[in-house]
Structures are given as C-alpha cells and as structure tokens.
Amino acid sequence: MASEPLAAAAAPILEVERIGKRFGGLVALTDVSFSIGRGEIYGLIGPNGAGKTTLFNVLTGIYRQDSGAIRFEGAPLANPTPDRIAKLGIARTFQNIRLFANLSALENVMIGRHVRTRAGVVGAVLRDRATRAEEAAIERRARELLRYVGIAERGNELARHLSYGDQRRLEIARALATDPKLLALDEPAAGMNATEKLDLRKLLEAIRRDGTTVLIIEHDVRLVMGLCDRVLVLDYGRNIAEGAPRAIQKDPRVIDAYLGKPREGGTA
C-alpha cells in the first residue's frame, strides 16, 4: 500500500485493523485496514456498493464487525454502541440526511449537546441555578454552531423546511455539538451546487483548523482531491489503494475500479 510517510502521523486518532463484515452471503467488507492521524482530513472513496457506508456504520457502532479491531485514541472500542461512540468523541452525519425533521434547527443542535450535558429529571423539575445555567449554555453553544456553519438566521425554522444544502450544514452543526474529536461525514456534498460545495470545503477546512479530525465519504472527485490529506479507496469491500490524492489518481487499480478493466490487448 502506498502510504505517504508525511501523513502517517505519530499518534493516530483512529486505527482500523483488518475489519470484515458480511450480511448473510454478501461480503461487505474484507480485511479493511487504515489509520487516521490527528488533524487529518481523510477521504474514503470508491464506486457505489464498495462498502463505504457499511464501514461508516461499523465505525459508529451501528453494525458490529465480524472480524478485526478498531482503536480510537489508542484504546480498543469494546462493545461499541452508537451512543457510546458519540460519547467517546466520534460524531457522524448520514448519507440520507437524518435530522429531527419536525424540530427547529436550533433544537436539533441543542439535542446534539445532550451527551456533553448532565441535567436529569430532578434538575429539569426543580430548575435550580445549575440547570438554568446549563440550559442557557446549551442554547448559546447551539446558536454559536449555527453561526459557525453559516445558518445562524435559520435557527427557528423547522429542519425539514431548510434547503438541502442547509440541511447538510445543520447536520454538521448537530454533529459538532457533541464536541467530537473525529467528525465522520457521509457524502456531505451530495446534492449541493458548486457554490455550496465551495462553502462546504471552507467549512471543513475551518473545522480541521479548529482541531477536529475529519473522515469524509465523498463522490465529488474534485472536492476530495482538493480537500483530503490522504484517501482510501474501497472496491468490493477491500481497500485497493491508500495515499495522497495525487498518487491515488494515477493508481491503475483505482482507475480500473472506477472505469472498469481495459479490454484484452489494451494496456492501462
């Protein structure tokens, strides 16, 4: 595998080792291994059905892998469930946006703060000073995040009334509300126009600058090439190449995966 030495950071935040996952007779992932360095923007690409979303679902505790191990910040993920993973510091967005559609944008982000706040039933009922302070902090942080992703003025609108691009941004804001160390984005640019994609790229760069590692599944090649430090290519559930975007682009296996094998007689 063509690993770039510069990007193989000293302390990887996420290490994935020989992950395998099958659904009945369908093999979705076979021996997928990679590691993401702290502060990287790491891309995950591959043709449709290559297993990208399955890999995401394994990483975020929705599926359990059949074999292999995942380590986050050096510690193995034992008995992972989605809520434990979020608590550990991996937040995600969904390919088919899953916002709380009938709640306002602000409420969506406030729910993201749940995992980092503490008020229980007693606090909720008594509304003591600490609970009121926490509520105020939750709302303040949620508004801050709406501004950060650029939809500050949309706070009171229902999530489902937002434009497609804004819904994607809101999902990112909601994920950021959980204070993630690793932000995992499943096709965040899908359905966006060119301007929105440019804004998204700026946003993701800002997120990285502010100290969050980013893992991103994306189809838009230009976005991936411009944004990612390293890219992993999946095909039929295997990693076929990993490395800097430029190297990947020229890799014959990647070209084969995307364009099909050349006919006999032709040379790649």
Partner 1 sequence: MALPHSIRANPRLKWIGVALIAATLLALPFALASVGTAWVRITNFAILFSLLALGLNIVVGFAGLLDLGYIAFYAVGAYTYALLASPHFNVHLPWWAILPIGAAVACVFGVLLGTPTLKLRGDYLAIVTLGFGEIIRIFLNNLSEPFNLTNGPKGISTIDSIHVMGIDFGNMTRIGGLAVSGTIKYYYFLLAVLVVVIVVNLRLQDSRIGRAWEAIREDELAARSMGINTRNMKLLAFAMGASFGGVAGGMFSAIQGFISPESFVLTESVMVLSMVVLGGMGNVWGVILGAILLSFVPEVLRYTVEPVQRWMFGRALVDPEVIRMLLFGLAMVVMMLFRPAGLLPSALRKRELVAPEDGL
Q: Which residues bind partner 1 (CB under 8 A)?
A: 60, 62, 81-83, 86-87, 91-92, 94, 97-103, 107, 110-115, 117, 119-121, 123-125, 127, 131, 134-135, 138, 158-161, 167, 174-175, 177-178
- The residue among 18 and 87 lying less far from partner 1, judged by its C-beta, is 87
- The residue among 8 and 101 lying less far from partner 1, judged by its C-beta, is 101
Name which of 247, 114, 110, 242 is nearest 170 in CA terms. 110
Q: Which residues are CB-neighbours of 41 under 8 A, at least 6 positions away?
A: 204, 205, 208, 213, 214, 216, 227, 228, 229
- The residue among 1 and 137 lying less far from partner 1, judged by its C-beta, is 137
For residue 217, the minimal CB distance to partner 1 (Å) is 15
Helix or strand holding residue 21 (H, E): strand 12-23
- The residue among 4 and 83 lying less far from partner 1, judged by its C-beta, is 83
Name which of 92, 102, 106 is nearest 146 in CA terms. 106
- The residue among 98 and 147 lying less far from partner 1, judged by its C-beta, is 98
Distance CA 52, CA 216 (A): 10
For residue 238, the minimal CB distance to partner 1 (Å) is 26
Tokens of 10: 């000293």
For residue 26, the minimal CB distance to partner 1 (Å) is 21
Distance CA 51, CA 162 (A): 30
For residue 177, the minimal CB distance to partner 1 (Å) is 8
For residue 112, the minimal CB distance to partner 1 (Å) is 5
Compute CA distances 139 → 88, 106, 110, 155, 205, whole Å.
Answer: 22, 8, 6, 11, 25
Distance CA 34, CA 42 (A): 10
- The residue among 7 and 111 lying less far from partner 1, judged by its C-beta, is 111
- The residue among 94 and 236 lying less far from partner 1, judged by its C-beta, is 94
Q: Which residues are CB-neighbours of 84 under 8 A, at least 6 positions away?
A: 61
For residue 174, the minimal CB distance to partner 1 (Å) is 7
For residue 231, the minimal CB distance to partner 1 (Å) is 24
DSSP code at position 181:
S
